[in-house]
Amino acid sequence: MSEPMMAKAYNPHEVETTLYDWWEKQGFFTPEQQLNSGLADPAQPPFVISMPPPNVTGALHLGHAITSSVEDMLIRYHRMAGNPTLWVPGTDHAGIATQNVVERQLEKQGMTRHTLGRERFVQEVWDWKDEYHGRITAQQRRLGISCDWTRERFTLDEGLSQAVLTAFVQMYEEGLIYKGNYLVNWCPRCMSAISDLEVDYEEVTGKFYTFRYPLADGGYLEVSTTRPETILGDTAVAVHPDDERYRQAVGKTAIVPVLGREIPVIADAYVDPEFGTGALKVTPGHDPNDYEIAKRHNLPMINIMNKDATLNEAAGKYAGLDRYDARKELWADMQAAGLVVGAKEHTHQVGHCQRCNSVVEPLLSEQWWVKMQPLAEPALEAVRSGAVQIVPQRFERVYNHWLENIRDWCISRQLWWGHRIPVWYGPDQTAFAAHSTAEAQAKAQAHFGRSVELVQDPDVLDTWFSSGLWPFSTLGWPAQSKDFATFYPTSVLETGYDILFFWVARMIMMGLKFTGQPPFHTVYLHGLVRDEQGRKMSKSLGNALDPLDLIAQYGTDALRFTLLTGGTPGNDIKLAENRVEANRNFANKIWNAARFVIMRLEDGAPEVDGSDPNSPLYLLPPNDLLNLPDRWILSRLEAVRQETTRLVDNWQLGEAGRQLYEFLWNEYCDWYIEAAKVRLNEDTAVEAQATRQVLAFVLEQSLRLLHPFMPFVTEAIWQNLPGVGQGAPDNAGSSPVAEGDRPQARALIVTRWPAAGERRQETAETDFGRIQEIVRGIRNVRSEYDVPAPKRISALFSASEINDLLTENLPLLIALARLDAAETLVAAELVAPSKAATLAAAGATVYLPLAGLVDLAAERKRMQGEIANIDRQLGRIESMLNNPGFTGKAPAEVIEREQSKQAELQGRRVQLAERLSEL
């Protein structure tokens, strides 16, 4: 195949979709294909992630981008490590959210769901789902996620619906699901109950109204409220039992203003005498605390509100008014009646519907509930025992606290979009939970002894009910499927910490309940993506960055790398656009380094190891052909391989990425490639060839290490490497060869993560470090003396102990420090020229005559500064080494390091001082 010339700059858009389609078509995302191709080792445990399903009608945002980046990183890493790897994608029907979207759409056409009727409305939502499903999944593909699309699921699929039915019926039969009339959080806009978690509390400045509650036998009590309309539902006034002020009032009768209803004055310890007037109006139908008080005192509970937050007949003359209008009118009437004491500003927490931001009302209503305590216990134990580990660990406390104080979960929603509650009622309201109408009928028949007409419960389940089953329902449960047997429990559940309760805790509870096992062994929580000022990104603030825009501007890899390396686990990340840009530059940098290497490989192809697809693509030359830079970069590569592997295994993904960045840019590009040029240009053919192989070897291994972080640019480069051969995207799908006969394509995505090498050479690192120190020192002097960059200068090295090192690597020094070869000399000892800048580095003294440029006074000053700097450091070290506490207690290794540093500094000091005295 003809090698396509690599473009001068990396263009993400030329490769991303092509590569993605090719990967997908090749089947690399499926565990079956990984096993068939020999990448995955059947002896290794599978690595499985259930993808948090995005809302099917949602649009991609940075939350999805960070989730995808982290999960795809883990998936690619484990796939390369040889685990059969499965990442199950899917979408969520997102009950209220989706229904609201469609309802808003209907509204624009002057319709409501009721004008359409249930069946047609649900059909309408399905149409939406079909339209938008393609959009969200296409957007996810742009992120490069290597999930197994052949196993994609939707929460309202047949299979997942079966899971929901099974779970519901079983829990119902065990008494874990029950129906009851309780106070719920009611959203008057959604016209549905919502769970505690779906209520967001916001601080609101309202009014604190104080008024007189008349007593039947004269007098009054002063009482305060933030919601005067609830007076209409009062069934008592309560005071603290020990409150002297109100002792006589207890037992008396109060009169509800306007309505004239008689209610008792009671004593209850809940009342805080310090707060307000110390007397509390009790509205059991519209306040959770009052509800509890009412239960203790057997008070009646009055519901004054309709489901749309207008008042009902119980409100007397206010019936039909909206809650806020009623508030005003009632207050005006009270004022007229002389009952008003006053109203002052008051800030307090008010519950809002998470989905539509309406103010939520506590309302008495009959709903379905899950009994949580019995589910919470095992879920707590799973984390306590370590069967489930949460990363970062601090979230375990949050998790524990929530589960220890858990309350029953309201799971019924008065919506049409979702899993309809599988309960049918007979003529006498007897309830039958069943998997189907037919089964319900059979149950009813058995119960009544005859066939009766059944009516199914109209409500649907909270969308998080089906989400709780996701890790196993997507694998086929309740059927005993092969996938379930093979891939359950999954490995890691990765998501943002904001849905720890909504989703993660419920999955653990449901997983333990229905499969007897925790659904995953690790929970990895990432932070939330915020704007540069740390604010939440939102449409209304207009500060939301669109991941698709960022991808269009900088490429997918740049965005992914930024999200992966821009923060630390569990902490929010403030996304600065210039970091994305910097990482775009990084992708380009690698691209160009590769371009250079590949061009040079045209002078002599490197030896390819074709024997084992799991070993490095290129062979290394024999040791005796390796020079210092070769040995150095190989040693560094091995160190970085070890470090990144360790870091990824310890969930320090960002740190791993940052290390690769620094290795590739600051070591491979800045030093090794520059050093390699010397040998490629000047040495013998055999040596040049050896260097070409090292260049190729290190590049190829680095691409593997970087691939999970930057999948596209690494694969694009890899496909251009000589020896990769056929299989490039150009051939994908269009080959006339039958599927089975086509040679297995080679792709970076299915190469092995580099295995441990034996190339670590501390001496090479020390020696090359000396060269670097000297080169940097010379560059520094050049810069200080304003030597024009292209100008070659003469240099005299009085090398003493590193004479051999410098002699051997003289061409390297000449090239990197831009020395004049004809006027450069290395010797163990040489006489200092009279007029030269002097540098003490790495044990050598370097004289740079810099004809005509050296100003002796300036040079003296420069050296004095240098000596002062050395003295500062020496002072620090000496006080350490003179401290018996240090020498007695510090590890030998640390002491040795300080000693050798001291020796080196003293050496340099002597060199500089000698020179200074000569000047």
Residue of the chain from 218, 338, 534, 542 that contacts RNA (CB under 7 A): 534
Q: Which of residues 855-874 bind RNA (CB under 7 A)?
A: 869, 873
Spatial distance between the Cα atoms of 400 and 388, rounded to a whole number of angstroms: 12
Q: Which of residues 150-189 bind RNA (CB under 7 A)?
A: none
**CB-CB contact of 291 with 303 (8 Å):** no
Q: Is 449 in the site for RNA (CB under 7 A)?
A: no
Spatial distance between the Cα atoms of 448 and 442, rounded to a whole number of angstroms: 10
DSSP-derived secondary structure letter, 338: T
Q: Which of residues 401-440 bind RNA (CB under 7 A)?
A: 401-402, 405
CB of 828 to RNA, least distance (A): 24
Nearer residue to RNA within complex by CB, 143 or 505? 505
Q: Which range in 31-39, 398-406, 716-724, 753-761 contacts RNA by CB under 7 A?
A: 398-406
Residue of the chain from 295, 766, 876, 903 that contacts RNA (CB under 7 A): 876
Q: Which of residues 588-617 bind RNA (CB under 7 A)?
A: 588-589, 592-593, 595-596, 599
Nearer residue to RNA within complex by CB, 114 or 646? 646
CB of 778 to RNA, least distance (A): 9
Nearer residue to RNA within complex by CB, 94 or 279? 279
List residues bridging with 50 in a β-sheet: 88
Per DSSP, which regions of 498-630 are E strands? 520-526, 529-530, 573-574
Nearer residue to RNA within complex by CB, 459 or 655? 655
Spatial distance between the Cα atoms of 224 and 280, rounded to a whole number of angstroms: 7
Nearer residue to RNA within complex by CB, 85 or 691? 691
List residues bridging with 188 in a β-sheet: none
Residue of the chain from 471, 566, 621, 708 that contacts RNA (CB under 7 A): 566
Number of residues that bind RNA (CB under 7 A): 104
Q: Is 567 in the site for RNA (CB under 7 A)?
A: yes
* C-beta neighbour count of 21 within 10 angstroms: 14
Q: Which range in 38-46, 54-62, 430-438, 652-660 contacts RNA by CB under 7 A?
A: 652-660
Spatial distance between the Cα atoms of 125 and 99, rounded to a whole number of angstroms: 7
Q: Which range in 335-343, 474-482, 503-511, 567-575 contacts RNA by CB under 7 A?
A: 567-575
CB of 405 to RNA, least distance (A): 7
Q: Is 636 in the site for RNA (CB under 7 A)?
A: no
What order do you get walking across the sheet with 279-282 strand by strand?
253-255, 262-267, 236-239, 279-282
Cα Rg of the chain, angstroms = 37
Q: Which range in 212-220, 430-438, 689-697, 895-903 contacts RNA by CB under 7 A?
A: 895-903
Q: Which range in 109-117, 310-318, 479-487, 649-657 contacts RNA by CB under 7 A?
A: 649-657
Q: Which range in 24-32, 277-285, 371-379, 544-552 contacts RNA by CB under 7 A?
A: 277-285
Task: Go through 160-187 and write b for each residue having 16 or more CB atoms within 10 A of its CB, e for each that does not.
Answer: bbbbbbbbbbebbeeebbeeeebbbbbb
Nearer residue to RNA within complex by CB, 133 or 574? 574
**CB-CB contact of 618 with 44 (8 Å):** no
At 168 the three-state DSSP class reads helix
> Which are the contacts of 26, defined by CB distance < 8 A and separation ≥ 6?
33, 732, 745, 747
Q: Is 397 in the site for RNA (CB under 7 A)?
A: yes
Q: Which range in 294-302, 310-318, 415-423, 528-536 contacts RNA by CB under 7 A?
A: 528-536
Spatial distance between the Cα atoms of 102 and 122, rounded to a whole number of angstroms: 10
User: What is each CA distance from 706 to 19, 299, 701, 838, in whole angstroms?
Assistant: 17, 68, 9, 42
Max CA-CA distance within the chain?
A: 118
Q: What is the phi/psi pair of residue 668, to 5°?
A: -65, -50
CA dihedral (402, 406, 412, 414) positive or negative: negative
Q: Is 501 in the site for RNA (CB under 7 A)?
A: yes
**CB-CB contact of 325 with 331 (8 Å):** no
CB of 801 to RNA, least distance (A): 18
Structure tokens, 837: 């800048």
Q: Which range in 185-193, 516-524, 651-659, 804-812 contacts RNA by CB under 7 A?
A: 651-659
Q: Is 324 in the site for RNA (CB under 7 A)?
A: no
Residue showing tokens 């207050």: 331
Q: Which of residues 654-693 bind RNA (CB under 7 A)?
A: 654-655, 658, 661-662, 665, 669-670, 673-674, 677, 681
Structure tokens, 460: 């649907």
Helix H or strand E segment including 209: strand 199-214
Q: Which range in 170-178, 279-287, 759-767, 842-850 contacts RNA by CB under 7 A?
A: 279-287
Q: Which of residues 761-820 bind RNA (CB under 7 A)?
A: 776, 779-780, 782-784, 786, 788-790, 818
* Chain centre to alpha carbon of residue 623: 43
Q: Is 9 in the site for RNA (CB under 7 A)?
A: yes
Q: Is 576 in the site for RNA (CB under 7 A)?
A: yes
Q: Which of residues 209-248 bind RNA (CB under 7 A)?
A: 224-227
